[in-house]
Amino acid sequence: MASTLKFLKLIADATRLRILMLVSAEPLSVAELQEILGMGQSRISTQLSQLKAAGLVDDERSGKHNIYRGTTHDGLLTVAKMAAEELPERARDDAGLRHLLRKRRDTARAYFDELAGRFGKDYVPGRSWKALAEALIQVHRFCVVADLGAGEGTLAQLMARNAESVIAVDLSPKMAEYGQSLARRNGITNLEYRVGDIEDPPIKARSVDLALFSQALHHAEHPQRAIDAAFRMLKPGGHLVVLDLMQHQFEEARELYADRWLGFSESGLAGMLESAGFTGISTIVADKEERPPHFQTLLATAARP
């Protein structure tokens, strides 16, 4: 970590301070910083290198991109925020960040609105009946189940057969409407759809016995927040099941499937579960697809103590 004096010298540069404020608020790629700041890649990369060398930011590889996030200690970050308030560009940067986040969210919503009624007919990476079976084998009868990022509710309908009630949460109103109507047509009366973000789902704390993420977590802006939310909604002794893509390099998934993250490593997902407070964490590779790009399905299970 940088000394206080070195820190003050670094944030004395307006560009570095603007970048630090942005990546402290939201993990961002160089391309996204370019969009917000209206600066060239070389200039931004140079400033990021200096911030990283000083220990003020770190980065994580995601496909072809490095995602940068701030690591500044609370006291120094408070000083930086006070200094940033004097920047004439601060309001514009905040507005640019909000716009970028809306674009990310709208891209995902538009993709799933378009898919409503087509799931099961079109290919979806990581959707594997073998993987679903692996998950279901590891659970028993539960009273209340939450399917988070449910899509049209294929898994939710399966779980409804052996549960007292199932709550399906999806960001897309059209997907939720379609899923609810499909449940009615199939005579499923204990499945309720709710429109909401998996990072802040409309479900009461400590009200759910089993929470599920099936190929939903890689669409979340902040996967850790989604896992934290699942922890809060679970009753003590409740279980979480995560089915998602193993970390991969198929960059086209961002455009083809509105993916935010290119899957997760076993250790990375386990680390997020542990950070949320889960115990009894287990991860396995549940399936490997034969055709390119050879997606693998990661299955994780955990319990709330």
Domain range for 177 is 129-303
* Residue 80 sits in the same domain as residue 137: no
The stretch 282-301 carries a mean pLDDT of 90
Contact predicate 64/29, CB 8 Å: no
Written as one letter, the residue type at 289 is E
Of residues 216 and 3, the one with the higher pLDDT is 216
- The H or E element containing residue 31 is helix 30-37
Contact predicate 83/10, CB 8 Å: no
* Residue 134 sits in the same domain as residue 218: yes
Tokens standing for residue 198 = 């998996």
Q: Is residue 109 one of the residues assigned to a domain?
A: no
* pLDDT tops 50 at residue 137: no
> How far apart, in whole angstroms, are the C-alpha atoms of residue 104 and residue 261?
12
Cis link prior to 293 (omega < 30° from 0)?
A: yes
Of residues 254 and 113, the one with the higher pLDDT is 254
Tokens standing for residue 141 = 């009868």
* Residue 199 sits in the same domain as residue 290: yes
How confident is the model over 11-42, as pLDDT tens digits? 899 999 999 999 999 999 999 999 899 888 99
> How far apart, in whole angstroms, are the C-alpha atoms of residue 58 and residue 23?
10
* Residue 58 sits in the same domain as residue 164: no
pTM confidence score? 0.69
Of residues 48 and 119, the one with the higher pLDDT is 48
Hey, how many other C-beta atoms are within 10 angstroms of the C-beta on 207?
Answer: 15
Looking at residue 105, what is its pLDDT?
78
The stretch 215-228 carries a mean pLDDT of 96
Any idea how long the chain is?
305
Q: Is residue 124 one of the residues assigned to a domain?
A: no
Tokens standing for residue 245 = 């893509």
The total number of structural domains in the chain stands at 2
Q: Is residue 108 one of the residues assigned to a domain?
A: no
Looking at residue 131, what is its pLDDT?
66
Q: Find the CATH number of the domain harbouring 285.
A: 3.40.50.150
Contact predicate 160/190, CB 8 Å: yes
Q: Which of 87, 114, 143 is the last residue of a domain?
A: 87
* Residue 26 sits in the same domain as residue 82: yes
| Helix, coil or strand: residue 280 | strand
Q: Which residue from 88, 63, 69 is spatially nearest to 21, judged by alpha carbons?
A: 69
> How far apart, in whole angstroms, are the C-alpha atoms of residue 100 and residue 113?
20
The stretch 166-175 carries a mean pLDDT of 96
Tokens standing for residue 256 = 């083809």
- For residue 121, the number of C-alpha atoms closer than 13 Å in the C-beta half-sphere is 6
> How far apart, in whole angstroms, are the C-alpha atoms of residue 119 and residue 215?
13
> How far apart, in whole angstroms, are the C-alpha atoms of residue 70 and residue 18?
12
Looking at residue 124, what is its pLDDT?
63
Query: Worst-scoring range by mean pLDDT, 101-105, 164-168, 234-238, 296-300?
Result: 101-105
Average pLDDT, the chain: 88
* Residue 161 sits in the same domain as residue 293: yes
* Residue 143 sits in the same domain as residue 82: no
Q: Find the CATH number of the domain harbouring 49.
A: 1.10.10.10
